[in-house]
Structure 1
């Protein structure tokens, strides 16, 4: 499998997404059967995309809550389930680890514009703070996990609400402001001149929310530069690195897609981070 991913290189696009999905489909279908959705399409806001799903295994109350925010280049993506395990797999894996897992949708292009993705993360967190206890979750112990655009939206939420009421944030292959604007993203961020001020670089460097930052061996160079830039500035500013993981043998898509499979390196790191954050 590692060799197959390596052969894909650092390419991005729908064909790579589908090739990665095929690699993990058998294992993720088993996970989906083990962990059915607990509550589907919970409404956390007024837009039709303001929906999230919840997952839990076993009994107990006061469970830490882990909210997953999918990627998709600001244009596509879904919280999964309803026949698609992608993205739901992360919430399911967190449920199997003993947490209340959640997976959310958010507004997308062409309607959405910066900073609406971050606003949606804030709204979903507030919904969980109000309702998690109804599903045996602890509203005071929430950790957010995002990949690609999802990581950007978490970082934007920290920018909008510096005291975002979460215990930790996991950022997988996000964009924080260390590289120039990609032309295809201008429709989301607005004119190039506005881009630097809209990026959450200062927020993720200065936040007191514990961070776990990850990048992939076969991430495109831009994402690797963002990963390295954030780590470098954090250690310069604070004298210590945040928790971090370099996903060897994985690319931009497989890093999140493989969570919940037999390759437990990243899954175990995230689970340990969550446990450390929530006490």
Structure 2
């Protein structure tokens, strides 16, 4: 399938002033599924992982440069989504909280101007964050400084509407952190207190405090995915705890453990044509 992936309809754009502020837009071919009559193709934005220190639109470590082209190809061709793969500032570029979420916010602004200005119908937009990308996405979703755009998108006040959020292999707390990871977290967040109060679980609790049981409809639905071979404490248990707390507060969420996958394998499996490996991608596509 490498030839198909390499032939994907892809164009690169800048969404900000830094050299890292680049995104790849994968557009469906004529043979891709078409939206229902009167509907517009959804936009899916992917925020890759990399532990705050790695993560590019195309991973140089993988031969052929097909990762994350395979991600863009899969969702553009299998589902007909306008698919965005974005880069964001890493620690070596001076990234500090909340720069990852700020970059996501800038991409959303770009998407609004690209897809939302001259349309009569609303176009739904979905975001998927993987690992550290999921942490940045949760920071955007629950961070106070991004509330205005999130609420406008959730309520469909413009020409695009926030349809849902997918968090894949994202740690929701840092309780199990140790060694080098603690050093990385200190570089991005600051003090131990800053790390704790800005982890996804704590951000969610504060953001929804006044909405429990009555006003959770304004929040998007979530899909939380972890892999069977993910670290138990940092990934699997923290995801279960997060989903339990989110649902207790009245939020909507689907939760699944991806059988046979490890922490890095789900995005790499897309476009392989292997049914079992790609199953999670088809489930996400149908959920959207």
Q: What TM-score, normalized by structure 1, do the two folds share? A: 0.79
Counterpart in 2 of 1:257? 268
2:15 to 31, 37, 44: 44
Deviations 1:205-225 (A, max 9, x none): 647111010000111121112
1:101 to 80, 83, 88: 83
Aligned-residue CA RMSD (Å): 2.6
Q: Structure 2: where are the runs of 5+ without partners? A: 154-161, 209-215
1:125 to 95, 102, 108: 108
Counterpart in 2 of 1:65? 43
**Number of residues paired by the alignment?**
243
Counterpart in 2 of 1:212? 223
Compared with structure 1, are the counterparts of its residues 81 and 191 closer, same or farther at alpha carbon in structure 2 (3 Å cutoff)?
closer
Q: Which runs of 4+ in 1 moved over 4 A?
A: 202-205
Does the alignment pair 1:266 with 2:280?
A: yes
CA distance in 2, matches of 1:187, 1:219: 24
Aligned partner of residue 228 in structure 2, secondary structure: strand
1:90 to 42, 63, 71: 71
Q: Structure 1: where are the runs of 5+ without partners? A: 1-26, 275-279
CA distance in 1, matches of 2:253, 2:189: 27
Q: What TM-score, normalized by structure 2, do the two folds share? A: 0.76
Aligned partner of residue 24 in structure 2, secondary structure: strand
Counterpart in 2 of 1:229? 241
Native 8 Å contact 1:55 1:95 kept in 2: yes
CA distance in 1, matches of 2:28, 2:194: 45
CA distance in 1, matches of 2:83, 2:170: 21
**Cα deviation, residue 233, structure 1:** 1.2
Counterpart in 1 of 2:211? none
